[in-house]
Chain A
C-alpha cells in the first residue's frame, strides 16, 4: 500500500548548520507531497507542498523538490535556527491534494545555540 518513510531522528544540529531530512514514498499513482511541522505542545502546521514531479515547495527557508525518479521529497534548509526545533512529518495524499493524508513517522530536530 501507499506509505511514507522518513529518516529516524533525532537530528541534532548546531545553529546555522545545513539541514537535510530524507523522505521517500511508495504510491500506486502520483500523489501530492507535503511537509508538516509540529512545534512542542502544538498541532501540525503545513510547512510546504508539491503537487507534481519536479515541483519545488518552499517556505520559511525550507525547501523540498518532488523527485518522481527517486520517489523522494527531502526537506532542506541552508541555515537552521534554534526556533526550528520541532518534529517534521512528511506526508502524501491523493484525491485532490489534501484528503486522507498518509504520514511518515516524523523526525525530531533539535537545534542548539
Chain B
C-alpha cells in the first residue's frame, strides 16, 4: 500500500519550454504533497508543500512563478517548470501523505534535462 507514482520518470527538452511533472497517490488520498529537488550527490531540498484545494507554500528562495504547483485533487499534484533553462536540470521528487502529520510516501523521481 501507500504507492506514489511520478510521471514522467525522465524528460529531455529544449531550453525555453515548459515541463509538467505529475505526482499521483495510487491507493490513498493525499491531503498533503511535497516537492523536492535533488542535485547530483546532494541532499533533497524541499521546494514547496501543497495541500489539496489551496495554494502551495514555497520554501525561501524558490520562485513560485517558475515552479507552478497545482494540487487540485486528493490524488494528484503537478509541478510545472515554466520556461525551463539548463540550470533547472535536476532530479525532482514528490511525496504524499494522507494527513500532514503522517509519513510521507515518495515517488521514484523525475530526471529533468534541459538542453
Contacts and interface: CB of A to CB of B under 8 A. Distances in A.
B54 interface: no
Nearest to A102: B46
Contacts of A96: 100-101
A92 to B, nearest CB: 12
Contacts, number: 53
A97 B103 CA distance: 8
Interface string B88-115: 0000010101001111101111000000
Interface residues of B, number: 23
A99 B59 CA distance: 13
Chain A, interface size: which category? 20 to 34
Given A43-B4, A43-B93, A43-B109, A98 B104 contact: yes
Interface of B: 4, 6, 32, 34, 41-46, 49, 93, 95, 97, 100-104, 106-109
Interface of A: 4, 36, 41-46, 89, 95-106
